[in-house]
Amino acid sequence: MIYNNVRNMRVRVGMVMVALFLFLGVETVGAQSVAALRDSLRAATDRMEYAPDSVDLRLRKASYNLQLEQWTYALDEYNYILRRNPNEVSALFHRAYVNEKLHRDNFARLDYESLLAIVPGHFEGQLGLALLNQKMRRFTDALDMINRLVSQYPDSAVAYAARAGIEKEQGMVSLSVFDYEEAVRRDADNREYRIDYVDALLQDKKKDEARRQLDCLVRMGVPRASLQKFYKRCK
C-alpha cells in the first residue's frame, strides 16, 4: 500500500497524474480494466480509419495509450495533432507529460513553455513546469513558478502541497510545514498530504503535532500498523 512507502514519495508524481487525468476528464485505469481499455483503444483506432483528422478521436485514442503506458504510441498521436494545430492546448500538455515519461525532459520543457505562451495562467502547465524544474534540480525556477501558482490559485491544495515538496527537498522544513498545513486545511481528506505533513513535522521536531496528525489518519481509516515507523519517530 502507498502508506508503507509514503515517506519516499515525491509530490511530483501524484500531482502530475492528477493534472493529467483531470485536465480532459480522462478516466483512470482503476475505472476500466486493462481488457476494457484495450477494447476501447481498438474501437477508437477503427473509428479513426473513417476520420483520421479528428482531434477528438486522436485525443481519446491517446488517452487510452496513456492509461496503458504506451508512451510512444501516445506521442505519435500528439505529434500528429500538433503538426496540424500547434496551439492545441490539451495535446501540448499531454505531450509534455509523455516526453517526461520517455526521459525527454528538454522536449517536455518546450511543450510546457509553448502551452504557457498560449495560456499564461494555465494551472496544469505551470504546475508541470515547476515540478519539471524540481526534477531537473532547477530549484530557484521551480520555487519562482510555484510561488506564482500559489498567488494565482490561493485556494488550491495541490499548489501548496507541490510547494511544500520543493521546500522540503531544499531543507526549508519550517516553510514546508506551513504549506503542508495549508494543503491539509484545503483538502482535509487527502491522506498523502497529511502523511507528508507528518514527515515534515517530525523533521521540524514538532512531535506532538505529528502524533495528532497520525491519530487523525488512523481515524480516517489508515491502518495503524502502516504508520508505525512514524509513531516510533514521535517518541
Helices vs strands, H then E, count in the chain: 14, 0
- pLDDT attached to residue 46: 85
pLDDT reported for residue 32: 59
Instruction: Find out whether 118 and 135 touch, Cβ atoms under 8 Å.
Output: no
Is the residue at 215 inside a domain? no
Output the average pLDDT for the chain.
87
- Residues of the domain holding 157: 2-180
Q: Would you list the DSSP string of 57-85?
A: HHHHHHHHHHHTT-HHHHHHHHHHHHHH-
One-letter amino acid at 116 equals: L
Q: What distances in angstroms separate CA 55 from CA 12, 27, 33, 38, one per listed residue? A: 29, 18, 25, 20
DSSP 8-state secondary structure symbol assigned to residue 160:
H
Residue 88 reports pLDDT greater than 80: yes
Does 231 fall in a domain?
A: no
**Per-residue model confidence (pLDDT) at position 44:** 86
Residue type at 47?
A: R
Burial class (CB in 10 A: 0-12, 13-18, 19+), 70: middle
Q: How confident is the model at residue 191 (pLDDT cuts 50, 70, 90)?
A: very high
As to burial, measured by CB atoms within 10 angstroms (0-12 exposed, 13-18 middle, 19+ buried), residue 176 is buried
Q: What is the pLDDT of residue 51?
A: 85
pLDDT in tens, 23-65: 444 544 455 588 898 888 898 888 888 888 888 999 999 999 9
Of 83, 152, 84, which is closest to residue 120 (Cα–Cα)? 152
Measured in degrees and rounded to the nearest 5, phi and psi for residue 44 equal -65, -40
pLDDT per position as a tens digit, 209-232: 999 999 999 999 999 999 999 999
Residue 44 domain flag: yes
On whether residue 219 sits in a domain, the answer given is: no
Cβ contact 192:6 at 8 Å: yes
Give residue for cell 490559485.
153
Q: Is the pLDDT of residue 8 over 80?
A: no
Q: Does residue 40 lie in a domain region?
A: yes
**Sequence letter at residue 228:** Q
Number of domains in the chain: 1
Q: How far apart are CA 194 and CA 144, in angstroms?
A: 24
CB-based contact 78:98 (threshold 8 Å): yes
Report the CATH number that the domain containing residue 152 is assigned in CATH.
1.25.40.10
Q: Distance between alpha carbon 115 and the CA centroid of its chain, in Å? A: 17
Taking the C-alpha atoms of residue 104 and residue 15, their distance in angstroms, rounded to an integer, is 19
Q: Is residue 230 part of a domain?
A: no
Mean pLDDT of 10-32: 46
Q: Is residue 221 part of a domain?
A: no
> Per residue in 96-140, pLDDT tens?
999 999 999 999 999 999 999 999 999 999 999 999 999 999 999
Average of per-residue pLDDT across 14-19: 44
Percent with pLDDT over 90 in the chain: 76
Residue 69 lies in a domain: yes
